[in-house]
Structure 1
């Protein structure tokens, strides 16, 4: 298991324990639920931004490598890359909508 995965699992475990102890407190349940909403919304948009950033970086890297190997295909490669980047960015927007729902609806 990689170091990053271990760190992520450790952070998730600490948050799960902290959230359950906040819900168990008398009189502080509302504050615990509010805290959990903020953490959930932050994690939703943070993980989405991380994933889409990595995806966009890989897409651009592949497009630049393809154009450098075959400059005559740059038009098709660029068009496909831009459509792909728009689809990748839509995932981040969906995560933003989920985060806003967590904050204001739930």
Structure 2
């Protein structure tokens, strides 16, 4: 499931397609994808597929990536 930064936009569009908070979801998804080169499949969960995406935390310890 590793790909190039060019693949981030369509993957993040899918990932954020069902949230009511599209802009922040897309922003953080793109940021996480650029760093991790991975976006979990589906619109929610499945983060174990991308350990980097799953383990990147905010300053407060919450999940950074949607």
TM-score, structure 1 as length reference: 0.23
Structure number with greater Rg is: 1
Relative to total residues, which structure has the larger helix share, 1 or 2? Answer: 1
TM-score, structure 2 as length reference: 0.32
